[in-house]
């Protein structure tokens, strides 16, 4: 057991706290084939060339992150798990699916890590989620190396977890704590067993580690660079490019994409409102057999669009029933619809007229600015990606 602990500590030491490899990594054909087999489980149509391109592009992205946004490398979100945590889950799944490693070890005693131990050791959860130095020092005193087979203390272990998990641990969720301990221990055992197996297949486990980082961080880095969108993540690259867009570019974009600035400007509509749904259903049936305008006369209902002479424009859209007329399909009697005030309406919207926003309209400026900045971000990305390929000598 002690020998295994020493072995794992040695193997993992080169990886912990240094997630990005600064120099270029040349992947072997065996490594690419290994990852191709792994990707096939989720994408049966992916080709070897597509895998190769993805792996090198991920390496390029990691180096871009190291240069421009190193914080992402450690953690993609302040409230989420650390990148290290995600890498370990990725590699464990890879080992399980491709190597069929059984990461079992001798039984361990976890009884001491009960509810009271957790509460006493961790103390109250910090209101801002940030540990003060005294709390950090207290957790650093608990060495988990004998248990987890790699040089790690309690603070390093807890710090890798998400804010939600940390909060639960401070509340004394000992079962969750034990579960995370076992995950970490099982990964470390699998890691030590995988290395010699992979070496026989001409696969460098350090390269797999980098590949895992790349796959995990790919969406975040690309979002930061402005070429895709990720929820709750802003792109400083796009923000900078948006500020550089000028009037001439907006005008040119408008002329080239005028069709997307077409809008519904006027509609005509008739409709009736009811306190009870059953009455509205009956009215709709009558309108379906006749016309809605005839149904208004037969039922003696007042047209809800009378005040507008049944001719609506965008200036009237602050009224909910006017908005409804603009969103209802042309020449179609609407289903029975409940209003925000709890009543029921049936309407008929017709004679839809369209216009174009002017080049100076705020809608045009906003949409054009966003689109132009995105185009420039994509072009910058492609140029930088190509330069990286030329510099490293990668031929894709």
| Per-residue pLDDT, 2 | 47
Query: What pLDDT, on the 0 to 100 scale, is given for residue 6?
Result: 44
Query: Tokens 């509460």 correspond to what residue?
Result: 119
Grouping H, G, I as helix, E, B as strand and the rest as coil, residue 270 is strand
- Taking the chain (396 residues) in runs of 10, the rounded mean pLDDT of each run is 47 47 85 97 96 98 95 92 96 92 72 91 91 94 90 95 96 95 92 93 95 96 91 86 96 96 95 97 96 95 95 89 95 96 96 95 96 97 97 92
What is the per-residue pLDDT for 138?
A: 93
- Pairwise CA distance, residues 126 & 134, whole Å: 12
Indicate the pTM of the whole model: 0.82
How confident is the model at residue 22, as a pLDDT?
A: 54
The pLDDT of residue 37 is 96
What pLDDT sits at residue 16?
Answer: 44
31 Cβ neighbours under 8 A, 6+ residues apart: 202, 203, 204, 207, 208, 211
Cβ distance 53 to 65 under 8 Å? no
> From CA 39, how far away is CA 44, in angstroms rounded?
8
Chain centroid to CA 321: 36
């Amino acid at each position: 057991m002690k020998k295994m602990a020493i072995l794992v500590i040695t193997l993992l030491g080169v990886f912990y706290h240094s997630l990005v490899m600064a120099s270029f990594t040349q992947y072997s054909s065996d490594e690419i084939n290994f990852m191709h087999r792994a990707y096939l489980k989720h994408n049966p149509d992916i080709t070897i060339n597509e895998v190769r391109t993805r792996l090198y592009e991920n390496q390029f992205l990691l180096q871009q992150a190291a240069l421009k946004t190193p914080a992402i490398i450690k953690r993609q979100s302040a409230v989420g798990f650390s990148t290290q945590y995600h890498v370990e889950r990725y590699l464990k799944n890879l080992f399980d699916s491709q190597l069929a490693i059984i990461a079992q070890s001798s039984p361990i005693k976890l009884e001491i890590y009960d509810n009271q131990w957790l509460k006493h050791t961790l103390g109250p959860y910090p209101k801002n989620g940030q540990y003060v130095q005294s709390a950090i020092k207290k957790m650093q005193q608990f060495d988990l190396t004998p248990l987890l087979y790699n040089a790690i203390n309690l603070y390093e272990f807890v710090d890798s977890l998400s804010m939600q998990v940390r909060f639960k641990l401070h509340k004394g969720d000992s079962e969750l704590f034990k579960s995370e301990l076992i995950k970490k221990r099982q990964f470390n055992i699998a890691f030590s067993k995988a290395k010699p197996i992979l070496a026989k297949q001409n696969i460098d486990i350090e390269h797999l580690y980098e590949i895992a980082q790349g796959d995990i961080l790919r969406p975040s880095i690309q979002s930061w660079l402005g070429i895709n969108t990720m929820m709750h993540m802003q792109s400083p690259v796009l923000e900078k490019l948006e500020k550089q867009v000028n009037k001439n570019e907006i005008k040119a974009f408008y002329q080239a994409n005028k069709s997307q600035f077409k809008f519904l400007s006027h509609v005509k509509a008739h409709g009736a409102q009811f306190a009870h749904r059953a009455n509205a259903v009956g009215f709709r049936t009558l309108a379906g057999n006749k016309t809605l305008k005839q149904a208004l006369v037969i039922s003696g209902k007042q047209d809800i669009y009378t005040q507008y002479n049944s001719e609506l424009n965008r200036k009237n859209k602050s009224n909910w029933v006017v908005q409804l007329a603009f969103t209802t399909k042309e020449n179609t009697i609407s289903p029975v619809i409940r209003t925000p005030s709890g009543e029921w309406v049936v309407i008929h919207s017709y004679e839809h007229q369209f216009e174009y926003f002017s080049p100076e309209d705020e809608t045009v400026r906003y949409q054009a600015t966003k689109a132009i900045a995105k185009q420039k971000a994509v072009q910058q990305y492609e140029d930088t990606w190509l330069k990286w390929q030329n510099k490293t000598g990668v031929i894709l």
